[in-house]
Structure 1
Amino acid sequence: MYAVIKTGGKQYRVVEGETLKVESIDGDVGGAIVLDKVLMVGNGDKVSVGKPLLSGATVKATIVSNGRHDKVTIFKMRRRKHYQKHQGHRQNYTEIRIDGISA
């Protein structure tokens, strides 16, 4: 059984037992969360698609860790103008483990 969920402005295809990194979610490590924005649930040949969300479908997950991704370096330069700009960014993430999918 798999599901397509929406969190943090992105969509993820998840199966039970999988771990994935999503945009930062408030909560303690080891705490349980319920993701209720389910777009699609599939089980073998049977597929249920929402318009845009499935009513009553939820995905239960556990927060494994919180962290920050690797640094992305932004470098801007204008040639012959003596202009250089350095900037860096590290995005926060929450790693979750999918415990169950209920349609």
Structure 2
Amino acid sequence: MYAVIKTGGKQYRVAAGEKIKVEQIAADVGQEIVIDQVLAVGNGAELKVGTPLVSGATVKATVVAHGKHDKVRIFKLRRRKHYAKSQGHRQQFTELQIVAVAA
């Protein structure tokens, strides 16, 4: 059984036993969270799509770790205009272990 969930403005296809990295969630490491924004639930060839959410469907996950992605370097340059700007960014994430998908 799998589900399509929405968290942090993005959509993820998840199944029990998988690990995913999502936008940072305010939860402690080891804490179990319940994601109730489930857009679709599938089991084999059967697919149940919500409008926009599937009523009663939840995904249970455990917080494994918090961290930061690799640095993204931003460099802007205007030729012959004496303009050069350098920036960097590291996006924070939360790693989740999917425990169960309940339809």
Same fold (TM over 0.5): yes
Q: Counterpart amino acid of 1:35?
A: I
| 1:8-87 → structure 2 map (5 Å cutoff) | 8-87=8-87
Between the aligned partners of 2:53 and 2:13, the Cα distance in structure 1 is: 14
Q: Percent identity?
A: 67
| Runs of 4 or more above 2 Å deviation | none
Between the aligned partners of 1:72 and 1:80, the Cα distance in structure 2 is: 26
Root-mean-square deviation over aligned CA pairs: 0.4
Between the aligned partners of 2:43 and 2:55, the Cα distance in structure 1 is: 17
Q: 1:50-88 CA distances to partner (integer Å, 9 max, x unpaired)?
A: 000001000000000000001000000000011100000
Between the aligned partners of 2:16 and 2:45, the Cα distance in structure 1 is: 18
Between the aligned partners of 1:96 and 1:83, the Cα distance in structure 2 is: 42
Q: Which runs of 5+ in 1 are unaligned?
A: none
* Offset, 1:46: 1.4
The alignment covers a number of residue pairs equal to 103
Q: Which runs of 5+ in 2 are unaligned?
A: none
User: Equivalent residue of 1:98, what SS?
Assistant: strand
